Amino acid sequence: MAHRLFVAIRPPEEISDLLIDAMDDSPEFRWQDEEQLHLTLRFVGEVDRPVAQDLADALTRIRSDQFQIRINGVGRFEQRSSGALWAGVEPKAPVAALATKIERIYGRRYDPVSEITITTGATEGLFAALTALVDRGDEVVLFQPVYDSYVPAVQLSGGRPVFITLRPPHFRIDWDDVRRAVTSRTKVIVINSPHNPTGTIWSRDDFTELERVLQQTGAVIIADEVYEHIVFDGARHESVARYPALAERAVVISSFGKTYTTTGWKVGYCAAPAELTALIQSVHQWIVFAVNGAVQMAYADAVARDPECAGVTAFYQRKRDLFLSLVAGSRFRPLRSAGTFFQLLDYSDISNAGDEDFAIAMTRTHGVASIPLTPFLHAGETADRIVRFCFAKRDETLTQAADRLRAI
């Protein structure tokens, strides 16, 4: 049964494997050419930016101070070397730094002891939350295109995904569709803003509508907010934590990796009312139990120093603007990204091919890789002629890639 479950789903990682095969066939591609590697495999979705020096320095200080620490499964210190000090002060558990940050930015205070769980990346947090909340036969409302880990997590718990399709070019939510989808069987509704893969963001009006829809239900919200600090054009990230009535029934999930370009360090968190947190931790403790303590302390230092992360927003806005300026004049039509480090391009003026075939052909012929949207769709839906690019790259990589795109 489990094998059939996953064979039926074609995640973006499988498309990445197909793109690697296409690179092998491409006359433009040479494995020994580092720049070409950035234009192909790494252009799919990986961030090409070094770890911030202050974060690296913080981790070095922790190691040099030789803390003998253990941070338990929810992010609290259980023991440390007697009298040890870090940079002249006692270390602060990540949950305390996070609670302060969330209250400062979004206005809601989460208790560090009973309402925040440190997880091995946001994906583990999503899995733990869905596993804790979804029982066999429960319905889970998902907006598609949908991030690839949601559906398997729902199905592994015996839940039934209910899809609401967002349509290009604007991918706006049709709230009449939501009202039809939410029923007495709805256990969870998963929202993702800023949204991967479309780059759209939720507005205040969207949250007002969500509150109306859920008013007479017991459904729980799982809010995937990993790109919370990557929102453009002066827009404000509308966290569910800003809305008291919704926050009382919500699990807010975010990631240090996206904010600090340290995705390989795999540290995220869930913030939720105590009753929901207890359920999540009852699953989390049997998945990983605890998360790297030294890395958590380095993040706590970074969060305490700069909770707003304004530099992150400015960095990615400049990258988005650069990429859009570089592809201007091409036959691709950008669907302007409002958040995340992804940009959709419509290629309908170039080819009638399906998005998967087009992405593979573009890699083979031109040496630039993208991700099609079809793998993010379910229930028989197929994507329009749109592919996703990642602009979290060095300027020279974006320039070379755009030169090739303009030539198509």
Residues 251 and 130 sit within 8 Å (Cβ to Cβ): no
> What gap in Å lies between CA 319 and CA 324, rounded to an integer?
9
Q: What is the mean pLDDT of residues 367-373?
A: 94
Q: Among 29-33, 109-113, 157-161, 336-340, where is mean pLDDT lowest?
A: 29-33
Of 278, 267, 301, 293, which is closest to residue 116 (Cα–Cα)?
Answer: 278
* Greatest mean pLDDT range, 62-66, 69-73, 186-190: 186-190
- In this structure, the number of other CB atoms found within 10 A of the CB of residue 139 comes to 21
> Which of 3.40.640.10, 2.60.40.10, 3.10.150.10, 3.50.50.60 would CATH assign to domain 53-305?
3.40.640.10
In Å, how far from its chain's centre is CA 31? 29
Q: Among 181-185, 300-304, 403-407, where is mean pLDDT lowest?
A: 300-304
Residues 329 and 379 sit within 8 Å (Cβ to Cβ): no
234: burial class by Cβ within 10 Å (0-12, 13-18, 19+)?
Answer: exposed
Q: Percentage of the chain surpassing pLDDT 90?
A: 66
Please enumerate in sequence order all residues whose Cβ is within 8 A of that of 308, keeping only pairs 6 or more positions apart, or say none: 104, 105, 229
Task: Return the pLDDT at 51.
Answer: 67
> What gap in Å lies between CA 121 and CA 258, rounded to an integer?
10
Q: What is the mean pLDDT of residues 48-77?
A: 60
Residue 196 has pLDDT above 80, yes or no: yes
> What gap in Å lies between CA 89 and CA 74, rounded to an integer?
22
Task: Return the pLDDT at 292.
Answer: 80
Residue that is written with structure tokens 């074609």 in the block? 10
Helices (H), ranges, 47-93: 53-64
In Å, how far from its chain's centre is CA 351? 30
Q: What is the pTM of this model?
A: 0.85
> What gap in Å lies between CA 256 and CA 51, rounded to an integer?
12
Task: Return the pLDDT at 53.
Answer: 72
Mean pLDDT of the chain: 85
- Under the banding of pLDDT at 50, 70 and 90, the label for residue 266 is confident
Task: Return the pLDDT at 92.
Answer: 52
> What gap in Å lies between CA 201 and CA 191, rounded to an integer?
10
As a dihedral over the C-alpha atoms of residue 383, residue 384, residue 389, residue 390, rounded to 10 degrees, the angle is -50
- In this structure, the number of other CB atoms found within 10 A of the CB of residue 34 comes to 10
In Å, how far from its chain's centre is CA 383? 21
Residue 68 has pLDDT above 60, yes or no: no
Residue 84 has pLDDT above 60, yes or no: no
Task: Return the pLDDT at 345.
Answer: 98
Task: Return the pLDDT at 203.
Answer: 98
Residue 129 has pLDDT above 80, yes or no: yes
Task: Return the pLDDT at 315.
Answer: 94
- Under the banding of pLDDT at 50, 70 and 90, the label for residue 113 is confident
> What gap in Å lies between CA 236 and CA 387, rounded to an integer?
26
Residue that is written with structure tokens 């804790």 in the block? 132
- Under the banding of pLDDT at 50, 70 and 90, the label for residue 33 is very low
Residue 263 has pLDDT above 50, yes or no: yes
Do the domains at 2-48+310-406 and 53-305 have one common CATH topology? Answer: no
Cα dist from 135 to 153, 188, 215, 331, whole Å? 11, 10, 22, 48
Regarding predicted confidence, which is higher, 14 or 189?
A: 189
* Yes or no: domain 2-48+310-406 corresponds to CATH 3.40.50.11260: no
Q: Supply the DSSP symbol for 144.
A: E
Helices (H), ranges, 170-289: 175-181, 204-214, 244-247, 256-260, 274-287
Residue 89 has pLDDT above 60, yes or no: no
- Report whether the peptide linkage leading into residue 145 is cis, meaning its omega lies within 30 degrees of zero: yes
Half-sphere exposure for 368 (CA within 13 Å, toward CB)? 20
Regarding predicted confidence, which is higher, 275 or 50?
A: 275
Task: Return the pLDDT at 181.
Answer: 98
> What gap in Å lies between CA 75 and CA 73, rounded to an integer?
6
Residue 29 has pLDDT above 80, yes or no: no
Residue 242 has pLDDT above 80, yes or no: yes
- Under the banding of pLDDT at 50, 70 and 90, the label for residue 86 is very low
Task: Return the pLDDT at 95.
Answer: 85
**Domain spans of the chain?**
2-48+310-406, 53-305
Regarding predicted confidence, which is higher, 162 or 46?
A: 162
> What gap in Å lies between CA 399 and CA 361, rounded to an integer?
20
Residues 395 and 38 sit within 8 Å (Cβ to Cβ): no
Residue 140 has pLDDT above 80, yes or no: yes
Structure tokens at 147: 């991030």
